[in-house]
Amino acid sequence: MPFAQYHGNSRVVTALRGMLTSGRVPHALLFAGPRGMGKFTLALQLAQAANCERLAAVGDSCGECGTCLKIGELAEPGPLIERGLESRGASPDTATVERVPLILQTHPDVWLLVPDPVRLRNPVARPVLRLGQLRAVQRAAQFVPSARRRVFLLEGAETMAEAHSNAFLKILEEPPETSTLVLLTAQPDALLPTIRSRCLQFHFAPLGVAEVERVLNEHKKMAPAARRLAAQLSRGCPGTALGIDLEESRRLRRDALELVERAAGGREFTEVFQLSAQLTKGEGLGFENLLELFYNLFHDLLDAVTGVSTPALRNPDLQGEIEALAKRVSADWVGRAVSRLDALSSGVRRNTNRQLGLDSMAAALALR
Ligand SMILES: [Zn+2]
């Protein structure tokens, strides 16, 4: 996909194109920013542009030549991961996991490494980038590319264990001119400073609503109003906007708002609890997302209570309901609700029972 079809973070794009056209591509780049912000998409475009058969001179990719198409297949890594894990058997031992590293490849010069979950079913505790994977990169980075540049994309770079960072630093010691590593992470602070400092860092910022709309327009068939709403709800994250189920999102946010309404109305706890139980059952919605949904509701509610007009409402489709509720609560009440939410949020990080946490918040809100 040519760079022109990439929206947002134009300064990063311009810098990458400048490196490609000048022929000075660094050995290690770090793409940092929240999930779904387009880091992987742009890294893949960089790999295509570095090897495209047609547009090399202008530092871009055509997206249509054999090389571009092959590299582009990495955009859907799911089946490749499945095949890689299957090839090691259902429950491989540690030695096998290191000996047969999980490497995703659709073109000889471009590798994608993702944190290894070890098993297809019942993945082990936390998928991490393994020593075997890093060693494989270390060896392969020395090879002469079959096209022009070997590009290694490392997803979840922060999962690299401290003990293995030497293997990674070795790759950078005497790097051949023709290899580039792109580290991708949502938590740059979790990376070792020694690794971070060896990379040229790029931080990906949230996109404007109009930019997210343009991404949606190119990748998904949607009515204009739905497209706008999805862009508004995504908080500048095109990955979120593309994956959002508007109906489901609205249902969940309405349920959460109803919980807040009942709590504000001092209704019986049992009733509020039933509703919170329904919410935590919400399929595919992580508790972190549920908390964020409440934060966003309180954010809009506080704006409505204090009469601040915000250009970017977080729940533009619930504006009427939120304004009605704002007439019944005080800014003080919203403030208390938010501090309860903060307590709940830190409880989640300490693994407090989630349903209990949500119940206690509902109860605390009902205490006027
Ligand atoms: Zn091409």
Q: What is the DSSP letter of 365?
A: H
> Are the C-beta atoms of 180 and 28 separated by less than 8 Å?
yes
As a whole number of angstroms, the distance between CA 318 and CA 310 comes to 14
* Gap from CA of 48 to ligand 1 centroid (Å): 7
Distance 325 CA to ligand 1 centre (A): 55
Which of the two residues, 133 and 309, has the higher pLDDT score?
Answer: 133
Diameter over CA atoms, the chain: 71
In this structure, is the dihedral angle defined by the CA atoms of residues 158, 161, 165 and 167, taken in order, positive or negative?
A: negative
* Distance (Å, whole) CA 17 – CA 163: 35
Tell me, in angstroms, the distance from the centre of ligand 1 to residue 63's CA.
5
- Locate tokens 């209990």: which residue? 356
- Looking up tokens 């300064």 gives 11
The mean pLDDT of the chain is 88
| Contact present, 286 and 268 (Cβ < 8 Å) | no
pLDDT computed for residue 147 by the predictor:
93
Class of residue 102 by CB neighbours under 10 A (exposed 0-12, middle 13-18, buried 19+): buried
Distance 189 CA to ligand 1 centre (A): 35
Task: Assess whether pLDDT exceeds 60 at residue 367.
Answer: no
Q: How far is the CA of 1 from the centre of ligand 1 (A)?
A: 8
Task: Compute the C-alpha angle 63/78/236, nearest 5°.
Answer: 65
CA of 69 to the centre of ligand 1 (A): 7
Place of tokens 């019986």: 268
Confidence (pLDDT) at 293:
85
Of 23-32, 76-85, 99-108, 269-278, give the lowest mean pLDDT range: 269-278
CA 52 – ligand 1 centroid, Å: 4
Cα(188) to centroid(ligand 1), Å: 31
> Rounded to the nearest whole angstrom, what is the distance from the C-alpha of residue 10 to the centroid of ligand 1?
21
62 CA from centroid of ligand 1 (Å): 4
Question: Which pLDDT belongs to residue 267?
Answer: 67
CA distance from start to end of the chain: 56
Q: Is 63 left (phi over 0), alpha (psi -120 to 50) or beta?
A: left
Give the model's pLDDT for residue 137.
93
325, 298 contact by CB (below 8 A):
no
Q: How confident is the model at residue 129, as a pLDDT?
A: 94
Contacts of residue 23, Cβ cutoff 8 Å, sequence gap at least 6: none
Q: For residue range 5-31, list pLDDT tens digits in order.
A: 899 999 999 999 999 999 899 999 999
Q: Is the pLDDT at 39 greater than 70, yes or no?
A: yes
Task: For 163-215, write each residue's pLDDT tens digit.
Answer: 888 878 888 777 788 999 999 999 999 998 889 999 999 999 999 999 999 99
Distance 71 CA to ligand 1 centre (A): 10
- Please report which helix (H) or strand (E) contains residue 10, including its range: helix 10-22
* Distance (Å) from CA 50 to ligand 1 centroid: 9
Spatial contact of 75 and 44, defined as CB atoms under 8 Å apart = yes
* pLDDT at residue 149, rounded to an integer: 96
pLDDT value for 70: 97
Distances (CA, A) of 279 to 258, 347, 350, 351, 355: 11, 18, 21, 18, 9
- Residue 310, pLDDT > 80, answer no
> How far is ligand 1, taken at its centre, from the CA of residue 14, in Å?
19
Would you say 68 and 56 are in contact if contact means Cβ atoms under 8 Å apart? no
Q: What angle do CA 239, 241, 247 make, to 5 degrees?
A: 135
Q: Are 51 and 148 in contact (CB under 8 A)?
A: yes
Q: Please give the distance, rounded to the nearest whole angstrom, from the Cα atom of residue 214 to the centre of ligand 1.
A: 23
Separation of CA 39 and ligand 1 centre (Å): 20
Q: What's the 173 CA to ligand 1 centre distance in angstroms?
A: 31
Cα separation of 254 and 248, whole Å? 10
* Predicted local confidence at residue 66, as pLDDT: 97
Contacts of 64 by beta carbon, 8 Å cutoff, 6+ apart: 54
pTM of the predicted model over 0.75? yes
Distance from residue 110's CA to the centre of ligand 1 (Å): 14
Residue-wise pLDDT for 101-148, tens only, equals 999 999 999 999 999 998 887 776 789 999 999 999 999 998 999 999
- Which are the contacts of 105, defined by CB distance < 8 A and separation ≥ 6? 74, 80, 111, 112
Rounded to the nearest angstrom, the distance between the alpha carbon of 152 and the centre of ligand 1 is 18
Q: Which candidate, 206, 298, 199, places its Cα nearest to that of 257?
A: 298
Cα 51 to ligand 1 centroid, rounded to whole Å: 7
Distance CA 65, CA 31 (A): 26
Distance 42 CA to ligand 1 centre (A): 15
Question: DSSP class of residue 185?
Answer: E
**Ligand 1 center to residue 205 CA distance, Å?**
28
Q: Which of 66-75, 315-324, 348-357 has the lowest mean pLDDT?
A: 348-357
| C-alpha of residue 53 to centroid of ligand 1, in Å | 5
